[in-house]
Amino acid sequence: MKKAILWFRKDLRLSDNPALNEAARTHQLLPIYIKSNPDRSNIYQTPGEASSFWLQQSLINLNEQMDHRIHVIDGDPDKIITALCLQYQIQYVFCNRTYEPWQDNFDKQLETDLAKKNIAFKQFENSRLLNKKLIPKTKQGNHYKVFTPFYKNYLSSLDHHFQPPVSQPKNINWLTIKIDNLTQANYQPWQKKLLSHWQIGEKAAQNHWLDFLENNLQSYHLSRDYPAKENTSKIAPYLHWGEISAKQLYADLQTVPNSEGKEQFIRSLIWREFNLNLLNDFNCFHFQNWQKKFDHFPWQADRELFNLWKQGKTGYPMVDAGMRELWQTGFMHNRVRMITASFLVKNLLIDWRLGQAWFWNCLLAADIANNSANWQWVAGCGADAAPFFRIFNPVTQAEKFDPTGDYIRNYLPEIAKLPTKYLFKPWQAPKEILEQADIQLGVNYPRPIVDLSLSRQNALNAYQQLSK
């Protein structure tokens, strides 16, 4: 049989893996994963701390599935792949495409370099619902910049062109090189906390998804905004690292009855596709404003306020609970993400890029397209973004979406004894109520770091000046 490298990237699974399926037909395979040398000037070329932890665990799980055959190497992919091809007389390199702009550029160069050595570079679509050639465009031939028409036309394309996922190959002929270069690391305390919240790997992804599909999908639209309810899918880390494919999610959704919950979840999947398109059109999406007028916005460089926000010490319980959830679990509920992001960008007037970088470091599913698009959406500077003057009030949002205070009490035990009436705004509680709840404002729970009304008006004034 011909020999080929199977280069795993964000496709850490054996089922519905197009590169694996094609390569396994007629090739003997050397599976590898390369931890690339990043460009230190671009933090987004390497996973954040939480995401790196997930990656390591996922590779360990995949390696066990494959009888310890994955060769994990640190270094320059071009040099590593070329050296392996020479060492093992390999004529083909198979991989699935990823969608970061710098990775696209690298892959094109690698294909050129390998061709000079008579080595074929075979690349496949992996993480999207449709092949990129089938993604709908406007009548002018451009990608959609507004989500609703994109969504409607994407659904139509799925009806006509969706290709179902493929099963894991029954027979895979691996090169007889057994390498055990993946070991469990010594965990830091925060990493141990993450392990208590998640199961990682392809099998865990399948089980997690089936549980959501059977038990939570039908009511997804009703409770997805309420962070105390365990009804979000939490499928994002598995999808990000390719432990399960978007195609499988969509195919499985077609097997269940239609419902508002199902429709809302499909909408979320297509929002992901929309964000990938935006990144494709605007390679600087992760560090430049889509709307150029925001290049002149008067962001405030207040490091102290930024650190208090990161630590969940703003004095606003809904914001603080969200930031604690992020740090403790590597996840934050979507409604709370909007509240915490709005607070940073609008009440503190701190640049969205700083918040994005913190999420990149802390999210297990830190995805360059979604992270960039969602932060620019909240900041009002993205494509089809929420208007800047839409400023989330963390008190009224908490009253509406955490009415019993269960979410806040879970992540802020220091104020858990407060009556719900004062839980969302502890600074308004009478002295005797605070004493009964063992709370000393400014000591074991902070006073508000900004005034909501004043900071809101400051944000609107700044935006008015920008709009002139």
Euclidean distance between the first and final Cα of the chain, in Å? 68
**What residues are paired with 74 via a beta bridge?**
35
**If residue 455 lies in a helix (H) or strand (E), which one and from where to where?**
helix 452-467
Token digits of residue 319: 């914001």
pLDDT score, position 79: 92
pLDDT score, position 34: 93
Q: What is the pLDDT along the chain (468 residues), one digit of tens a residue?
A: 899 999 999 999 999 999 999 999 999 999 999 988 766 667 888 899 999 999 999 999 999 999 889 999 988 899 999 999 999 999 999 999 998 888 888 999 999 999 999 999 999 988 899 988 899 999 998 889 999 999 999 999 999 999 999 999 999 999 877 665 666 666 777 777 888 899 999 999 999 999 999 999 999 998 889 999 988 899 999 999 999 999 999 999 999 999 999 999 999 999 999 999 999 888 899 999 999 999 999 999 999 999 999 999 999 999 999 999 999 999 999 999 999 999 999 999 999 999 999 999 999 999 999 999 999 999 999 998 888 899 999 999 999 999 999 999 999 999 999 999 999 999 999 999 999 999 999 999 999 999 999 999 999 999 998 866
Domain 128-163+200-281 of CATH type 2.70.98.60: no
pLDDT score, position 404: 97
**CATH class given for the domain over 2-126:** alpha beta
| Annotation: CATH topology of 292-467 | DNA Cyclobutane Dipyrimidine Photolyase, subunit A; domain 3 (1.10.579)
pLDDT score, position 133: 87
Whether this prediction's pTM lies above 0.85 is answered by yes
**3-state SS of the chain?**
CEEEEEEECCCCCCCCCHHHHHHHHHEEEEEEEEEECCCCCCHHHCCCHHHHHHHHHHHHHHHHHCCCCCEEEEECHHHHHHHHHHHHCCCEEEEECCCCHHHHHHHHHHHHHHHCCCCEEEEECCCCCCCHHHCCCCCCCCCCCCHHHHHHHHHHHHHHHCCCCCCCCCCCEECCCCCCCCCCCCCCHHHHHHHHHCCCCHHHHHHHHHHHHHHCHHHHHHHCCCCCCCCCCCCHHHHHCCCCCHHHHHHHHCCCCCCHHHHHHHHHHHHHHHHHHHHHHCCCCCCCCCCHHHHHCCCCCCHHHHHHHHHCCCCCHHHHHHHHHHHHHCCCCHHHHHHHHHHHHHHCCCCHHHHHHHHHHHCCCCCHHHHHHHHHHHHCCCCCCCCCCCCCCHHHHHHHHCCCCHHHHHHCHHHCCCCHHHHCCHHHCCHHHHHHCCCCECCCECCCCCCHHHHHHHHHHHHHHHHC
Task: Return the domain boundaries, the chain.
Answer: 2-126, 128-163+200-281, 292-467
Do 2-126 and 292-467 have matching folds? no
Phi-psi region of 141 (alpha: psi -120 to 50; beta: other; left: phi over 0): left
pLDDT score, position 38: 66
pLDDT score, position 399: 98
